[in-house]
Structure 1
């Protein structure tokens, strides 16, 4: 499904809302007011991305928590969502998955309250997460403004590497750099975004272009991205040039192509920008006037950030357009 498909799916449904419903379907997480607090809720799960069940559980946990961090929130509790066939896999495998999950939840200071398991031929693991908006403030994808700068906090290309790993073209050892990033919580960068960003989302299955498009169309702006400024795994770029990439990358690119201006940009670059990411970083916009203070805060917290583009002035391109060069 593309970035806007879920919204189209529920369009016309008589969904119940009450005055406490602050954000519904279509953003990284829902937001609901309870007394003086604002709760954030999300759910996500993935199939195995590596051969090690412990790492899969840990990566899936980081991935699930990211939607809360993308709203500038703090995760509080989680419920496990498990698809598993004990006839094909040992229960010990699932225990390792849960051990990886447990270690990351402890790092995130998030309580596992329970969960649900179903029999499933294809293993799946993830979390439904509830968090809180600190100070009653949260971020959405709809706050980007003309002149804002566009930043991202992790490299792209994990989908390409996972595809190559599953096909035996690379080993898990070739993914050490990517694994270290996939295991990195977005908590610190989320706190930076909460303080300085105007709009924010996490880079996951729709690829960098798909998530940038989400910000652009919801904010009523157009966005410029410089490919050469985007952090990417060197091996993933080589693999894409050899036409090794997941089907999802092509589907993501096809979804945004009518909203894309990329004259003279090599197709392999657009494919990599569309690569479905697992446990990616945060993509956010920030006023240029706040950039210096934001970067100082990032340095204090040892958070790496890459400036990859900007929000364009109104009228330069149609709303929702993504302009790519490099």
Structure 2
């Protein structure tokens, strides 16, 4: 996402769901965590978290990692060799916001699909499958999907569409990777279990530091063999940790206490979208709010996205992220209440009114 140049401290922070702070209950769990040597696989809290996520996603094993980006990049490194190709949607997070990680860390090429709201179909995947040309042809290895789709406005992949894409991938001998940074938002909004979404994927992960409200971390899951390979690259990429149970405890707490409450974030996002839709000059379709993300344009207000963001924060203490080309992104989370959303709507209206 575009960097926010506004530096004032916000009262209501809708910049991202990564700005959440640990709740009192989570802080207590962190303080009381039982710990050990994580890299030697001796930390009981880390091991418990990995078991929980493996079960949640219906996989044999899992590995705790410092970030969601590392989850993606380790999966790519396992599945793809140098010079080989990953197929993904043209607005994928891994393509735009992981500092060229696929190329830098795996030597991978990326072939993109122009989908709809960050998603694509099996037919669209079929259209970019390369015809083999002996030693001269580009070798494709992996299809990567993102659920929910960030730049698709937090869109939820229909389960049957994932299965369709997976069937085409298998037909051509390709692996399927699921970037599940906000997968649990999809689960709460749709009622479909995480294991169902991940069933067709050879690797999948969830982020702990977004809607779940943890300070750090992600958990990558797959077959036991896949996870054994992931351990090697975890160390190689600098992800080795020691008494990591301190931060893993936050993940355990969040999975036990913070999943169902995401429905509040989704309701707040819809409320925000409906309020913004009533402000002249702001462009938004409230019907496209699936989860906790609200994208809207401000070109019709006569302000640039940077100026809109600056005034909103400086004059009203509300932070919403400018995305470029008149586009703004607001993300609801556990530190934002319904009253905060109502105030944010009033603040946006005041900025437009000038």
* TM over 0.5, shorter chain: no
More helix by share: 2
Q: TM-score, normalised by structure 2?
A: 0.25
The higher radius of gyration belongs to: 2
More strand by share: 1
